[in-house]
Structure 1
Amino acid sequence: MQRGAAARDGSRTAAGFGLAVLSAAGFGMSGSLASRLIETGWTPGAVVLARLGLAALVVAPVSAVALRGRWNLLRRNGFVIALYGLLAVAGAQFCYFSAVTRMQVGPALLIEYTAPAAVVVWLWARHGQRPRPLTLAGAALAALGLVLVLDLLSGVDLDPAGVLWALGAMVGAAVYFIVSADEDTGLPPVALVGAGLVVGTLALGLLGLVGLLPMRAATTSVEYAGADVAWWVPLLVLGLVTAALAYVVGVAAGRRLGSRMASFVALLEVAAGVLFAWLLLARCPAPCRLLGGALVLGGVVLVKLGEPRPAPETPAT
């Protein structure tokens, strides 16, 4: 029985890693796709609103099917859904774009991706899950990798307001990992994502209506990997792949790995962003960035090795 339980745990963890990497790759693709649209006249707010709105249109009907008439789950988890939609979806996006209007993208991303450290602190303070030495070593190695991937060694200027906005994005990201991994709600992953995307889209739309998030779109064709495509093609990929798919499999990964492990695997999103910039935008990464990606991966492995092993099941007598 113990072997069977260990095999099930191993299979669940392997599936969780696969889903987490797929989610990180989806999120990592969004930057390259969005950058070309922004260059043609789209505002970041318009790109994000369209991306989340399309994702909500796709995921919400699937969420309704997954609930199987259990609408009481939505009512019972209204606070969790609002937290996920307002902070993890809309809040993280709004704060990040507010940060990059005041400071460079690299340091803003680095601050946002201190979210795994915030998750570790939360689990320690709230649930008494003290991090092991290997977890701390993995976090340090992953942080060094992020510095190299984001090419921050050349020196950057930090704007105080930008830092505060980036910290807000970090809080949103940490909430995403913590809420995604919570299985006590009874909500299927797709239902949590669908409801959260609707809430997040409405929140960003409201910010646009009151003028806090500039909205402007364009219909100019865009170029990726040397080929011109219609403006709506990258928009569809942004909505269907980098939002709908990435959020759903991200929550499914969190349920299997736990918030701490899932948050560290998500750091691969930065390395994936560099890779997609190379493939789609012909921006060849410097050797230090490739080394940084390897260090991030090594940090994830150390964090995994530092995870506590589940206690063996006691055979029934």
Structure 2
Amino acid sequence: MRAVSLAIAGVSAFCFGFSGPMAKILGMAGLAPLEAVWVRMAGAGVLLLLVLAVFRPRALRIPRDRLPFFAAYSVIAVAAVQGLFFVAITRLPVGVALLLEYTSPVLVVLWVRFVRRIRLPRSAYLGALVAVAGLAIVVQVWEGLRLDALGLLLGLLAAACCAGYFLMSDSFGDDVDTLGLIGWGMLGSAVVLLPLSRPWHIDWAAFTRTAEVSGHAVPVAAAGLWMIVVATVVAYVTGVTAVRRLSAAVGATVASVEVIAGALIAWVLLGEHLGAAQITGGAIVLAGALYAQSATTRIGAAQHAPEAPQAVRV
């Protein structure tokens, strides 16, 4: 059971890892980062909702009393995570912004402990801290370090919203269909991001061109489609499924492997070679994620024990 859950989380991290490289190819074709984000969210939302309309129409129903939750999921768990990060990297080095965003596992375990009042095993805390330390090495946060007050605030807000994604993915009940929530969340985020992304300025002709990647001509449309289907639809569906099976505290830490997956994919597809720091940091991240997952069974027992206090859900 736990092995299957970890495999699902691994698939999610691997699929999310394609986000950066595919967005970089779109950037080579002339799309701005926020334009690529909008294409990603809007395309994935429309695709998933169309598939559900044909094969699983009941998933599209939103219980009236759950409308606020769906709206919050769209704004916090999807749009804010994407938008805040891409605005943060205009004021901070990418490595620093990444490190700030991926402090979310620490925020999740603190929320679960002090707000939901669920006692977590030591491995959940230590695994999260080890994973963050490994990420600091992967992104070589000490290189070109410059701190901007607004950028720092935006990065921390992105981390908080990323933590919200894991907590909200773990908190809804059987009255909400997982696929429906993800589909509406993506489409809702595309609406929220309209003022920032301004898709009416996108050079749509870029998708008819090719981009030169490591000596090969790659169709921009193929990169965009891969980003929508694999790096978004498959990544989110498997990611939310993994969080619900592993718990938010463990799922958030295991998801940090996404940064390692992205670096490896960029190495293979874009020729961005990994140095000793990235390899060492990657091993530390994996160690932290594997250590944290050992808490899964005990967290589940704590959540279902009769004497455990009632959890406060996001």
Give the TM-score of the pair, scaled to structure 1. Answer: 0.87
Paired position in structure 2 for 1:257 = 246
Alignment-mate amino acid for residue 189 of structure 1:
T
Paired position in structure 2 for 1:8 = none
Tell me how far 1:215 sits from its aligned partner: 4.9
Structure 1 window deviating more from structure 2 (190-199 vs 37-46): it is 37-46
**CA distance, structure 2, for counterparts of residue 19 and residue 299 of structure 1:** 18
Q: How does 1:124-163 map to 2 (within 5 A)?
A: 124-154=113-143, 156-163=145-152
**Partners of 2:49 and 2:60 within 8 A in 1:** no
Q: How does 1:204-283 map to 2 (within 5 A)?
A: 204-209=193-198, 215=202, 219=206, 220-283=209-272
Summarize the Cα distance change of 1:33–1:285 in structure 2 as closer, same or farther, 3 Å threshold. same
Summarize the Cα distance change of 1:67–1:183 in structure 2 as closer, same or farther, 3 Å threshold. farther
**CA distance, structure 2, for counterparts of residue 99 and residue 70 of structure 1:** 33
**Partners of 2:93 and 2:144 within 8 A in 1:** no
Unaligned runs of 5+ in 2: 306-314
Q: Is 1:46 the equivalent of 2:38?
A: no
Tell me how far 1:55 sits from its aligned partner: 0.5
**CA distance, structure 1, for counterparts of residue 149 and residue 164 of structure 2:** 23
Equivalences, count: 300
Q: 1:37 aligns with which of 26, 51, 54?
A: 26
**CA distance, structure 2, for counterparts of residue 255 and residue 131 of structure 1:** 16
Alpha-carbon RMSD across the aligned residues, in angstroms, is: 2.3
Tell me how far 1:66 sits from its aligned partner: 3.4
Deviation track 1:59-96 (CA, whole Å, cap 9, x = no partner) reads 1123444352773x442311111111111111111100
Secondary structure (helix, strand or coil) at the match of 2:272 reads coil
**CA distance, structure 2, for counterparts of residue 309 and residue 105 of structure 1:** 34
**Partners of 1:66 and 1:188 within 8 A in 2:** no
**CA distance, structure 1, for counterparts of residue 138 and residue 67 of structure 2:** 38
**CA distance, structure 1, for counterparts of residue 98 and residue 299 of structure 2:** 32
Secondary structure (helix, strand or coil) at the match of 1:127 reads coil
Paired position in structure 1 for 2:56 = 66
Structure 1 window deviating more from structure 2 (60-69 vs 131-140): it is 60-69
**CA distance, structure 2, for counterparts of residue 297 and residue 89 of structure 1:** 25
Summarize the Cα distance change of 1:137–1:50 in structure 2 as closer, same or farther, 3 Å threshold. same
Deviation track 1:204-250 (CA, whole Å, cap 9, x = no partner) reads 12434499xx8555624213343102211101111111111111111
**CA distance, structure 1, for counterparts of residue 105 and residue 134 of structure 2:** 14
Q: Is 1:55 the equivalent of 2:55?
A: no
Secondary structure (helix, strand or coil) at the match of 1:34 reads helix
**CA distance, structure 2, for counterparts of residue 81 and residue 177 of structure 1:** 14
Structure 1 window deviating more from structure 2 (62-71 vs 118-127): it is 62-71
**Partners of 2:59 and 2:180 within 8 A in 1:** no
Q: Is 1:302 the equivalent of 2:291?
A: yes
**Partners of 1:278 and 1:285 within 8 A in 2:** yes
Deviation track 1:94-136 (CA, whole Å, cap 9, x = no partner) reads 1001000111100000000011111111111222123332222
Q: 1:196 aligns with which of 172, 185, 195?
A: 185
Structure 1 window deviating more from structure 2 (235-244 vs 145-154): it is 145-154
Alignment-mate amino acid for residue 38 of structure 1:
G
Structure 1 window deviating more from structure 2 (89-98 vs 27-36): it is 27-36
**CA distance, structure 1, for counterparts of residue 52 and residue 281 of structure 2:** 38
**CA distance, structure 2, for counterparts of residue 234 and residue 200 of structure 1:** 21
Paired position in structure 1 for 2:65 = 76
**Partners of 1:41 and 1:217 within 8 A in 2:** no
Tell me how far 1:24 sits from its aligned partner: 0.9
Give the TM-score of the pair, scaled to structure 2. Answer: 0.88
**CA distance, structure 1, for counterparts of residue 275 and residue 59 of structure 2:** 52
Q: Is 1:118 the equivalent of 2:107?
A: yes
Unaligned runs of 5+ in 1: 1-10
Summarize the Cα distance change of 1:309–1:85 in structure 2 as closer, same or farther, 3 Å threshold. closer
Paired position in structure 2 for 1:169 = 158
Alignment-mate amino acid for residue 99 of structure 1:
A
Query: Percent identity among equivalent residues?
Result: 32
Paired position in structure 2 for 1:98 = 87
Summarize the Cα distance change of 1:70–1:196 in structure 2 as closer, same or farther, 3 Å threshold. closer
**Partners of 2:254 and 2:293 within 8 A in 1:** no
Q: Is 1:85 the equivalent of 2:85?
A: no
**CA distance, structure 1, for counterparts of residue 299 and residue 154 of structure 2:** 37
**Partners of 2:107 and 2:163 within 8 A in 1:** yes
Alignment-mate amino acid for residue 177 of structure 1:
F
**CA distance, structure 1, for counterparts of residue 144 and residue 246 of structure 2:** 36
Alignment-mate amino acid for residue 68 of structure 1:
R
